[in-house]
Amino acid sequence: MSKLLAIVPAYNEADAIASTVADLRKNAPGWDVVVVDDGSTDATARVAGAAGADVLRMPFNLGIGGAVQAGYLYARENDYDYAVQVDGDGQHDAAQIDGLLRHLRAHRGELNMVTGSRFLQGDEEHGYRSSGVRRLGIKIFGFILSRVTKRPVTDPTSGFRMCDHRAIELFANDYPHDYPEVEAVLMVHAHRLASAEIPVTMRERQGGVSSINASRSIFYMIKVLLAIFVGLLRARPVVEVGDPAAVAAQRGV
């Protein structure tokens, strides 16, 4: 039987984390849950633990990329076969995790990561879609990534993603820290792994405040575009599962 892990990065999500964990335990009962408390200054860690999740407490705020990578390190060290990222703010519906898993298993050997997209098959008309400025940015990022990867990318900022053991190993060794959702698509492609999207709906955040507000959206778009082009130029060694030399090279050994 496959070992399944839900990775929930959380920073000051005390208002939403209990309902997020409860949603996972109810609608994804076969999945273990680890909440990565990214140096929160509120009661996130305590509330998550009381809700029944395992909790990794970061010594200070690493940012979303560092928190997610910590989750993938936990997944690799504990020999999980599949890991799904779920935001701690309650936007992602745990009932849709089974669809991600079915798709990834149905394409075993062909795909290593599957992402839930808000913008497939008319789903952009349902659920939460964020602001108009951010949707414009998503379309621009998606256009560029689709051309680079030669696969359709409609929701590059979605954090609702599931990985197999090869992608777990990749992200445990190297994960983008600045704009991880977008750059992770490039990483998967650069390491000769494959990804795809399936349609999902998302909810508005259940608590807390987004780190990207309306006034910062344009600045965010410019910085992400720069990060994409830097990522295209950055050389990364290809990680092959079970290749100690490649893994050692990734770690700088």
DSSP string over 149-193: HTS--S-TT---EEE-HHHHHHHHH---SSSHHHHHHHHHHHTT-
Residue 45's region, left for phi above 0, alpha for psi from -120 to 50, else beta, is alpha
Q: What is the pLDDT of residue 132?
A: 65
- One-letter amino acid at 142 equals G
Does the reported pTM lie above 0.85?
no
Q: How many domains does the chain have?
A: 1
CATH number, residue 80: 3.90.550.10
Q: What is the pLDDT of residue 233?
A: 61
Q: What is the pLDDT of residue 176?
A: 86
Q: What is the pLDDT of residue 34?
A: 98
The tokens 């940012």 sit on which residue?
Answer: 63
Contact of 163 with 185, CB cutoff 8 Å: no
What is the mean pLDDT, run by run of 10 residues, along the chain of 253 residues? Answer: 95 96 97 98 98 97 95 98 96 97 97 94 52 77 91 93 98 88 91 95 67 57 70 57 48 42
Q: What is the pLDDT of residue 215?
A: 55
Burial class (CB in 10 A: 0-12, 13-18, 19+), 248: exposed
Q: Measured between alpha carbons, how far is 79 from 58 in angstroms, rounded to an integer?
A: 21
Q: Which domain holds residue 75?
A: 4-251
Q: Which residues of 198-218 are buried (b: 16+ CB within 10 A; e: fewer)?
A: bbbbbeebbbbeeebeeeebe
- CB contact set of 164 (below 8 Å; sequence gap of 6+): 81, 82, 104, 108, 111, 112, 113
Distance from chain centroid for Cα 101: 14
Q: What is the pLDDT of residue 248?
A: 45
Q: What is the pLDDT of residue 213?
A: 47
1-43 pLDDT per residue, tens: 889 999 999 999 999 999 999 999 999 999 999 999 999 999 9
Q: Which of 158, 207, 164 is nearest to 179 (CA)?
A: 158
Contact of 173 with 250, CB cutoff 8 Å: yes
